[in-house]
Structures are given as C-alpha cells and as structure tokens.
C-alpha cells in the first residue's frame, strides 16, 4: 500500500521550541536512565528588608523571599513576630499568575489579586486550580520599631508563575504496584539547584515517607515503617551512599531487592548511582557494591514488552494486526482469523501488552469477549461477560487484567475487572453525576486515565484516578480523582504516552494533539508537524518506541513517524477506515 507523507518537522525546529505553548512546569523525556538534572535558572535571591522602605517594597520583598523554600527564615524578617510565629509555609504553596498589576495598594496594606494556577501540597503534589480560582490575599501591614511589617500570615507560601521552573522541579518517587512487578511513579515538586548530596537526601527522605495521598494504598513501599536514612545521603563522584537504619534489616531477600529498585530508580533522576547499606552492611550482599541501574530495568514503569509497539485495529468490525509502520514492508491490515475473536463482529478492541490475547465489545454491545489472538490447539475457549448499556472500549494493564466500564450512559456507570485468572470483580466508583467517555489503564494497573463529560459545563475533561482498596483490601475502589484542568475545549480522547499523556482537544483554533504532564502542570502541542487533518481519537502507550496514531474525523488513520512527520494510509483505500489500538 502506498504511503502519503502529510508533513515533516525538522528536528532543529523542535529544539527551537516552535511548537511549545508557554505553561507551568516542564515536560520531561520518557527515557529515565541518564536523564540530565534540571539546570533551572537564576532566580531572585532572598534578601532581608531594608530600612524605611514603603508598603509595596515590603510585600514585594516578602513574596520574593518566600519563593525560595530554603529562605523562609529570611521571609519571616518581613513579618511581625506574631505573624512570623503563625506562618506555616511548608503547609502548601499557592502558584499564581504573576503580573505587574497583581499587587495594588489598599487601605493599610497591599492587595494581591491574581489567578490561581495550582496548589502544591505539603508532600509536593501539584493540584491544578479551576479556571475561576483566585489567589487573592490582603497583606495587612503594621509598624514594628518604626518599620513596616506584614501583620497577617498567609495560608502557606505564594510562588509567582515566572519563578516555578527556577525554584522547583518535578521528581518521581517510585513505589510498586500490588503485584510487585512494576514501579509506579508518584510525582512531587521539590526544590532544585540544591547541592547533589542535599538533593539526594531530600529525595530519599520523601521516598521513605511512603506514597502521597494520590496513590495511597494502591501501591506498596518495601521500606518497613520506621526506616530512615542515617543523617544524610552523601554523594561522591556520582555515587550516593544511602545508609539505612536497622529497621530494613528484617526484610527478606526478594523484598530487599525491591526496596533497592525503589531507591535506585528514584536517585537515577539526579544521574546518581546508589550504594545502599543497612546497619553498615550491604542491602544486597550478592550484588555489586554500587548497584547498576540496568539490574533493575525489569521494573520499568513504562513497561518494556516488545509487542507494545505493534498496532492493531478493527476493520469491517473484525480484529486486525496492522503491519508496515516501521517501513520494513507495505502497510497492510492482516485479519486475526485464527483466534476466537474472529467469530464475532466488534465495536471496540483491546490487546494485552504481550500481544498474545485480546478483548472485544461485540457489535450489538451486549458482551465483552476475551480470547487468545493466535491460540494453540489446546488453548481455552473465549470467555464471555455480559454488559449493559453503553460499554467503553476495554483496556488491559501489564498484569493481563482486563478493565471494562459499562452503563456509561446511565446514572450508575459500572467498572469491572477481569483478572488474569478469569475472576471478575466490580470496582466501587462514584463519578459524581459526570459521564465517562474513555478509560485507559496504565501498565501498572494502579493509575486510570479518564475522559469525562461534565454534567455542569457540558464539556469533556481529563482526569487521573487511582485503584485502591477498602474493607481490609477486599474491595477494589477507584479513588483520588484528580482533574487535570486543562485549558482545552472539545476534548475527544486521551491516551498514555511515553512522555505523559496525549490529549485531543482545542485551545483557540482547530483540534490538535497535545502533550500533557501526568499532573496537568504542563501543556504543549505534540512535537511534530501540524496535522493536515482533524484529529478525533488517539492510540498510544508508554513504550518508548511506540508511534502515536491518530484517527481523524473521517475515520482515516495517521501516525507520527520517528522524523516527526505525519504519515497516513492512502485516503482512497478502504483500509483507511481502521479503528486503531495499541496494546494496553
């Protein structure tokens, strides 16, 4: 089949940032090993107040000083003793849209009036603000020994949007999913431009505190309660020495290895290798003293199954394998005729990460069918699960659990999971009256990506939720819903990607594919040439070599090649109407 190149964006243009939209935060490359540390920039150095300065200078200096989490003592010098004693800057950081007109004189003080961008919680979680949220605060001023001082403690610290990337950096703390075969990133925002030893100490201390509320009991930390770093984490020649107290000495060999994986992956973001001891003895006595990162690559949270790069789809309501995207052969759709799924007409199709099995929602919308794609003679028959109402396209995690949501068009949408052993469990959830439009599980089986339709605004939005448990671990529940609050309208789809999330939506122009960080802190156009089509749906996954595929509003598919150009199936070929899907 002929291929048609729709456009090419040269790599030099990408490096120039011409496709980026100014936002808060930084999109990071999905490759973790060898990731260079954020260099940041030169921020405003915190300085104590000068004598006899006016009200505006006092408040401006106070805001500048509190923007540096290492200089809160300096910021307190701008306050009355009473206010300084009450102020708790560590409780939260309010990120606001800083503009010249944000501060105005009012009565006996200074009024801050600004749009709130986000709140960074005590653990460093980025929580996007709603479009209408304000960061307003009145800085009441009083004289102390003849000098103006801030007399009312603000609720936490305030950080102007132009200081975020200079002062803070997103870092991942790594925990394990329930099956303990994949790491799960828990992103937090921490001070940057610290000496390497101080940065390593901070990261490991945060890791040993356990997961944030966002992941909760959906993940596992192998650090026993009470595990601490003895004093600090010194760094010498790129090696961080993590000396744990005796509490971790009770771990079994396998759990020791998993704890080492958490530490090694967490420190790798700083380009640091790890040497880990417990009570002075090596945590892993049979491993090299300095633990190679490659020894723990099997726990990659992005999953590394080679089959994840293979594209599948539905053509004429029948499952297909799409070949030729890599240029090794002509692009064509090959029917999956040998498996039991070929016996049914389908409206949607999902494939396991290993590419050996799949699931469909039948064309009549009444059943979900699970079966092997290329079964052996003695393979079990397909299994059927009855569904009700509208059923969203199903999705697999990395443990071959099949997640599917039916009754999506009713008042009580139902989420269930077919476990790899065939058991089916219902997952408690409450969508608060909103309607689920799309569901994609991350490979870890913990994080769920959702496109929802708001009953209040009549617009679609994107959020991430976490699979946790209640009733002593017996009941699965979808909890901790975190709307990303993107500045987009007409959102039609979203999918996991190696660099975060791809979202199809509109800002002030035509629909575009957007690249979004997993906490919503960053939004930019998907790097590549501007598509000469109207995108509607996206197929992607977290594998580093997966090429994002877009289905346009006419049903044709296009994929982003490695040279960042869009390639499409020939418009006059019937195979252009494939509904694409990647494993996951």
Q: Which residue has the tokens 């600004």?
A: 114
Q: Which residue has the tokens 């009733």?
A: 471
Q: How confident is the model at residue 455 (pLDDT cuts 50, 70, 90)?
A: very high
Q: What is the model's pLDDT at position 576?
A: 55
Q: What is the model's pLDDT at position 570?
A: 63
**CA torsion sign, 328 to 334 to 339 to 345?**
positive
Residues 461-512: tens digit of each pLDDT:
999 999 999 999 899 999 999 999 999 999 999 999 999 999 999 998 889 9
Q: Give the rounded distance of the alpha carbon of 424 from its chain centre.
A: 27
- Helix, strand, coil percentages (3-state) for the chain, rounded to 5, are 15, 35, 45
Q: How far apart are the first and last CA of the chain?
A: 27
Residues 202-249: tens digit of each pLDDT:
999 999 999 999 999 999 999 999 999 998 999 999 999 999 999 999
Cα torsion through 534, 351, 440, 444, rounded to 10: -140
Q: CA-to-CA distance for 551 and 354, rounded, in angstroms?
A: 24
Give the Cβ contact number of residue 100 at 10 Å.
5
Taking each continuous run of H as one helix and of E as one strand, the counts in the chain are 7, 39
Residues 327-368: tens digit of each pLDDT:
677 778 899 999 999 999 999 999 999 999 999 999 999 999
Q: How confident is the model at residue 379 (pLDDT cuts 50, 70, 90)?
A: confident
Q: How confident is the model at residue 380 (pLDDT cuts 50, 70, 90)?
A: confident
Give yes or no for a contact between 456 and 476, defined as CB atoms under 8 angstroms apart.
no
Using DSSP's 3-state secondary structure scheme, residue 292 falls into coil
Give yes or no for a contact between 395 and 439, defined as CB atoms under 8 angstroms apart.
yes
Q: What is the DSSP letter of 229?
A: B
Q: What is the model's pLDDT at position 15?
A: 30
Q: Which residues contact 102 (CB under 8 A, 6 or more apart)?
A: 96, 112, 113, 114, 160
Q: Does position 459 have pLDDT exceeding 80, yes or no?
A: yes
**What Rg value do the Cα atoms of the chain yield, rounded?**
26
Work out the average pLDDT over 562-583. Answer: 77
Residues 263-315: tens digit of each pLDDT:
999 999 999 999 999 999 999 999 999 999 999 999 999 987 889 999 999 99
Q: Which residue has the higher pLDDT, 162 or 562?
A: 162
Q: How confident is the model at residue 32 (pLDDT cuts 50, 70, 90)?
A: very low
Token pair recorded at residue 319: 């499952």
Give yes or no for a contact between 355 and 303, defined as CB atoms under 8 angstroms apart.
no
Give yes or no for a contact between 530 and 18, defined as CB atoms under 8 angstroms apart.
no
Specify burial of residue 341 (Cβ count, 10 A radius: 0-12, 13-18, 19+).
Answer: buried
Q: CA-to-CA distance for 434 and 465, rounded, in angstroms?
A: 14
Token pair recorded at residue 560: 């982003």
Q: What's the angle, vertex CA 560, arms to CA 582 and CA 463, rounded to 5?
A: 55
Mean model confidence pLDDT for the chain = 90
Using DSSP's 3-state secondary structure scheme, residue 21 falls into coil
Q: CA-to-CA distance for 310 and 187, rounded, in angstroms?
A: 29
- Strand 489-497 and strand 566-569: pairing? unpaired
């Amino acid at each position: 089949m002929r291929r048609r190149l729709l456009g090419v964006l040269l790599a030099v243009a990408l490096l120039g940032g011409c496709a980026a939209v100014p936002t808060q935060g930084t999109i990071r490359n999905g490759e973790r090993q060898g990731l260079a540390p954020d260099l940041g920039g030169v921020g405003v150095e915190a300085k104590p107040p000068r004598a006899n300065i006016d009200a505006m200078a006092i408040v401006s200096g106070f805001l500048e000083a509190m923007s540096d989490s290492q200089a809160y003592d300096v910021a307190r010098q701008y306050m009355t003793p009473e206010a300084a004693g009450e102020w708790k800057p560590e409780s939260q950081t309010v990120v606001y849209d800083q503009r010249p007109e944000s501060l105005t004189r009012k009565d006996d003080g200074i009024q801050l009036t600004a749009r709130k961008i986000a709140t960074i919680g005590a653990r460093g979680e980025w929580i996007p603000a709603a479009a209408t949220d304000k960061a307003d605060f009145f800085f009441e001023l009083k004289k102390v020994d003849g000098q103006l001082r801030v007399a009312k403690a603000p609720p936490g610290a305030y950080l102007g949007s132009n200081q975020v990337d200079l002062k803070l950096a997103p870092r991942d703390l790594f925990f394990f999913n329930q099956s303990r075969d994949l790491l799960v990133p828990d992103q937090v925002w921490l001070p940057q431009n610290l000496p390497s030893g101080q940065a390593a100490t901070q990261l490991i201390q945060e890791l040993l505190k356990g997961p944030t509320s966002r992941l909760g009991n959906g993940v596992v930390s192998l650090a026993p309660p009470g595990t601490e770093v003895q004093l600090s984490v010194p760094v010498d020649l790129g090696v961080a020495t993590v000396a744990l107290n005796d509490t971790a000495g009770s771990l079994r060999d396998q759990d020791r290895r998993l704890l080492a994986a958490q530490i090694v992956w967490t420190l790798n973001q700083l380009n640091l290798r790890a040497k880990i001891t417990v009570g002075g003895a090596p945590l892993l006595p049979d491993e090299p003293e300095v633990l190679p990162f490659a020894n723990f690559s099997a726990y990659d949270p992005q999953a590394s199954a080679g089959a994840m790069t293979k594209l599948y789809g539905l053509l004429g309501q029948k499952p297909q394998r799409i070949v030729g995207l890599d240029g090794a052969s002509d692009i064509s759709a090959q029917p999956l005729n040998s498996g039991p799924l070929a016996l049914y007409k389908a409206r949607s199709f999902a494939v396991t990460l290993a590419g050996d099995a799949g699931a469909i929602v039948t064309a009549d919308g009444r059943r979900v069918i699970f079966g092997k794609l290329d079964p052996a003679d003695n393979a079990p028959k397909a299994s059927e699960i009855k569904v009700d109402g509208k059923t969203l396209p199903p999705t697999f995690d990395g443990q071959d659990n099949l997640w599917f949501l039916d009754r999506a068009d009713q008042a009580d949408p139902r989420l269930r999971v077919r476990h790899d052993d065939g058991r089916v469990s219902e997952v408690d959830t409450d969508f608060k009256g909103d309607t689920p439009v799309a569901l994609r599980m991350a490979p870890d089986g913990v994080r769920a990506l959702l496109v929802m339709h708001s009953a209040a605004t009549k617009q679609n939005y994107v959020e991430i939720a976490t699979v946790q448990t209640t009733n002593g671990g017996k009941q699965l529940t979808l909890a901790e819903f975190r709307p990303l609050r993107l500045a987009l309208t007409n959102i039609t789809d979203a999918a996991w990607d190696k660099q975060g999330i791809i979202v199809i939506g509109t800002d002030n122009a035509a629909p575009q594919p957007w690249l979004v960080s997993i906490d919503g802190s960053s939004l930019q156009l998907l790097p590549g040439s501007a598509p000469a089509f109207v995108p509607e749906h996206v197929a992607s996954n977290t594998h580093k070599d997966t090429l994002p595929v877009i289905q346009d509003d006419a049903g044709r598919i296009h994929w982003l090649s490695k040279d960042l150009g869009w390639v499409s199936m020939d418009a006059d070929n019937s195979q252009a109407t494939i509904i694409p899907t990647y494993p996951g």
